[in-house]
Amino acid sequence: MRRIISILMENEPGALSRVVALFSQRGYNIETLTVAPTEDPTLSRLTMTTTGDEYKIEQITKHLNKLIEVVKLVDLTEGAHIEREIMLMKIKATGAQRAEVKRTVDIFRGQIVDVTATVYTVQLTGTTDKLEAFINAIGETQVLEVVRSGVSGIARGEKVLSL
């Protein structure tokens, strides 16, 4: 089962390494990881996606909560939520392909953010599924480079993760 775990933690040196080390120490896997300070500069928000059965996820959240620097934690996948990932991508765009790529970008509501005679640089935001669907639609042979931010997420409705 894929889970999105969102953490508020002290914005201190060493805190991130503790979170990451926990995963390797205890044999859990991290699929994506994003981290940045919040509106309160003493706090960082970290979002990670991981997979595991219910038992494993319970252990992961318990151990994360035990880390002294972790202030709050929520498993976003337990409720309705919004998830987004941003992707930047260089795509071969020559000849007939050029128009075709542009059409696909439009269908996926991406933006072309840089252009050369042979390459489009495309920005696309969405769920992991959508980004993957886009890569498939473009076709691997056309793709020159992909950089993805990893998943960020937030709960729907009035629930907020704050102090």
Tell me which residues touch other proteins (CB under 8 A): 9-10, 13-14, 17-18, 21, 25, 55, 58-59, 62-63, 65-66, 68-71, 163
91, amino acid identity: I
Which residue, 17 or 116, is less far from other proteins as judged by CB?
17
CB of 74 to other proteins, least distance (A): 15
Residue among 142, 102, 148, 146 nearest 125 (CA): 148
- The pair phi, psi for residue 80, each rounded to 5°, is -65, 140
Between 147 and 163, CB nearer to other proteins? 163
**Distances from the Cα of 123 to the Cα of 8, 85, 114, angstroms:** 28, 11, 9
Question: CB of residue 52 vs other proteins: minimum separation in angstroms?
Answer: 14
Least spacing, CB of residue 72 vs other proteins, in Å: 8
CB of 58 to other proteins, least distance (A): 7
Distance from the Cα of residue 51 to its chain's centroid: 14
- Please tell me the distance from the alpha carbon of residue 3 to that of residue 26, in angstroms, as a whole number: 17
Contact (Cβ atoms closer than 8 angstroms) between residue 82 and residue 74:
no
Report the residue number, 69 or 75, with the smaller CB distance to other proteins.
Answer: 69
Please, which residue, 13 or 95, has the CB nearer to other proteins? 13
